[in-house]
């Protein structure tokens, strides 16, 4: 019987450190308990056959195909890009049939693309008895998305999917390109609250923010915003107001990640929660990547008993918020938030209880 391999890779949530990954900065993230499952079997021919239960589609390509898929088949560029990138790196993955399914809600910004890439890579490598270091795996998947899909994402999504640990938060350093984990106190729980407004503008806005951060670093005479403190940015006279605000968001986020790790280590969850509220305020005032819907959710969070902190998570411009709550009060909070949000905005939100979870792994094979 031919060998079958099944791999799972989770989505992720960013807890602190917004837009810092491409500024060589720091992020606190967690893998969540939802993600993409990829089942792989060998094929004799040098082809990739891929089908997705999520969108009901299938696609096929030669492993050496250089041209990306277009139109309705563009989703298949994620796995084709991964296989191509692995082969270009000298990892001799051969023909395979890949079947994927996902329990990640779409449009929440939980990084289904990275979960798709990482589960594909893990399944394909295992199918051909190959392996790579975890950070190499994350980087190859990022390269596939940058170069083959054409999305200039940082390394956060793939690294979080790879390095997640049950009950722990991941501290990522994008200058050292390293990951370590810090335990999350057991009485805490995470709620994802989606604003119901997908982050559709993120393509153009995201690239614009990247350019503004680059311009800020250049004006400050440093390689990346990682090299400056908020104090130095505030004191710099050479920056126009918008550039200064963008820079302050990044430096503030780096500082909040460091304070957040210290708070977790000291078991001071309320301090950690305060940092999350501050992070959202900075997104709103300095980085301009919030929306009135995300702001409304965070205002509701601040007025809800048992909520320690809340902020937008991921790129922004829509998508979801992440709430740190007392586990014992999570059921009551889940009950009341949708109605409060509807009353305040007229819109409908969706709520999900999640927890810091194990990263990408083989389920079979
Ligand atoms: P995010 O990564 O935040 O979920 P992206 O826009 O980066 O959002 O990636 C979403 C895209 O990834 C989808 O539009 C689709 O092309 C692809 N994708 C993710 N999961 C699946 C899946 N299970 N089946 C097919 N395509 C998927
Ligand atoms: Mg993505």
Q: Is the pLDDT of residue 41 over 70?
A: yes
pLDDT 10s digits, 72-110: 999 999 999 999 999 999 999 999 999 999 999 988 889
Which atom of ligand 1 is closest in space to residue 102's alpha carbon? 23
The hierarchical CATH code for the domain 4-182+358-364 is 3.30.230.10
Q: Is the pLDDT of residue 163 over 90?
A: yes
- So what's the pLDDT on residue 365? 87
* 157 assigned to active site: yes
pLDDT over threshold 80, residue 223: yes
User: Identical fold at 4-182+358-364 and 185-354?
Assistant: no
Q: What are phi and psi of 56, to 5 degrees?
A: 70, 20
pLDDT band at 137 (very low <50, low <70, confident <90, very high): very high
Q: With 90 as the cut, is the pLDDT of residue 198 above it?
A: no
Q: Find the catalytic residue in 21, 33, 129, 157.
A: 157
So what's the pLDDT on residue 179?
A: 98
Contacts of 20 (CB under 8 A, 6+ apart): 26, 27, 174, 226, 250, 253, 254, 257
Confidence of residue 13 (pLDDT cuts 50, 70, 90): very high
Return the CATH number of the domain spanning residue range 185-354.
3.30.70.890
Residue-level pLDDT at 107? 82
Determine the residue of 75, 100, 105, 118 to mutate for testing ligand 1's pocket, defined as the one with the most ligand atoms within 8 A of the Cβ atom.
75
Q: Which residues of 312-343 are buried (b: 16+ CB within 10 A; e: fewer)?
A: bbbbbbbbbbbbbbbeeebeebbeebeebbee
Which-ligand-closest: CA of 80?
1
If you measure from the C-alpha of residue 154 to the centroid of ligand 2, how many angstroms do you get, rounded to a whole number?
A: 10
Distance CA 96, CA 87 (A): 13
100 touches ligand 1 (CB under 6 Å): yes
Structural domain boundaries in the chain: 4-182+358-364, 185-354
The residue contributing the CA closest to ligand 1 atom 22 is 54
Q: How far is it, in rounded angstroms, from Cα 88 to Cα 140?
A: 10
The separation between CA 111 and the C-alpha centre of its own chain, rounded to angstroms, equals: 5
| Mean pLDDT in residue range 351-360 | 97
Q: Give residue 206 CA to ligand 2 midpoint distance, Å.
A: 12
Name the residue among 279, 254, 248 with its Cα closest to residue 172: 254
Mutate to test the pocket of ligand 1, among 98, 110, 116 (most ligand atoms within 8 A of CB): 116
Q: Residue 202 above 60 pLDDT?
A: no
Residue-averaged pLDDT of the chain: 96
Number of other residues whose CB lies within 10 A of the CB of residue 14? 29
The pLDDT of residue 109: 86
- Check if 206 has its Cβ closer than 6 Å to any atom of ligand 1: no
Q: Output the six-digit token pair for 328.
A: 């014992």
* pLDDT over 70, % of the chain: 98
187: which 2 tokens? 């009485």
Give the pLDDT band of residue 64 (cuts 50, 70, 90). confident
Q: Using 50, 70 and 90 to split pLDDT, how confident is the model at 207? A: confident
């Amino acid at each position: 019987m031919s060998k079958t391999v099944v791999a799972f890779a989770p989505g992720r949530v960013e807890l602190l450190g917004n837009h810092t990954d491409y500024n060589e900065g720091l992020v606190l993230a967690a893998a969540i308990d939802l993600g993409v499952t990829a089942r792989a079997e060998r094929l004799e021919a040098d082809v990739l056959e891929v089908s997705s239960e999520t969108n009901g589609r299938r696609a096929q390509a030669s492993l050496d195909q250089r041209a990306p898929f277009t139109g309705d088949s563009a989703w298949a560029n994620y796995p084709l890009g991964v296989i191509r990138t692995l082969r270009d790196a000298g990892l001799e993955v051969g023909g395979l049939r890949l079947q994927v399914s996902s329990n990640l809600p779409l449009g929440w910004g939980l990084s289904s693309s990275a979960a798709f890439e990482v589960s594909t890579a893990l399944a394909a490598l295992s199918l051909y008895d190959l392996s790579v270091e975890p950070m190499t795996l994350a980087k190859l998947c990022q390269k596939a998305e940058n170069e083959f899909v054409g999305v200039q994402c940082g390394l956060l999504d793939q690294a979080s999917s790879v390095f997640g640990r049950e009950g722990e938060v991941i501290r990522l350093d994008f200058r050292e390109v390293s990951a370590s984990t810090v335990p999350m106190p057991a009485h805490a729980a995470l709620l994802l609250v989606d604003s119901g407004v997908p982050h559709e503008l993120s393509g153009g806005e995201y690239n614009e923010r990247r350019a503004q951060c680059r311009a800020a670093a250049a004006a400050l005479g440093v390689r990346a915003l990682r090299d400056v403190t908020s104090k130095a940015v505030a004191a710099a006279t050479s920056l126009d107001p918008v550039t200064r605000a963008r820079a302050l968001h990044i430096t503030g986020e780096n500082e909040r990640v460091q304070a957040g790790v210290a708070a977790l280590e000291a078991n001071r969850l309320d301090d950690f929660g305060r940092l999350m509220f501050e992070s959202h305020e900075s997104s709103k005032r300095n980085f301009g990547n919030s929306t009135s819907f995300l702001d409304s959710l965070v205002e509701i969070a601040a007025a809800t008993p048992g909520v320690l902190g809340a902020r937008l998570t991921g790129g922004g411009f829509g998508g979801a918020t992440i709430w740190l709550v007392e586990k014992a009060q999570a059921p009551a909070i889940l009950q009341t938030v949708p109605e409060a949000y509807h009353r305040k905005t007229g819109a409908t939100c969706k709520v999900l209880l999640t927890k810091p979870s194990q990263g990408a792994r083989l389920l079979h094979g």
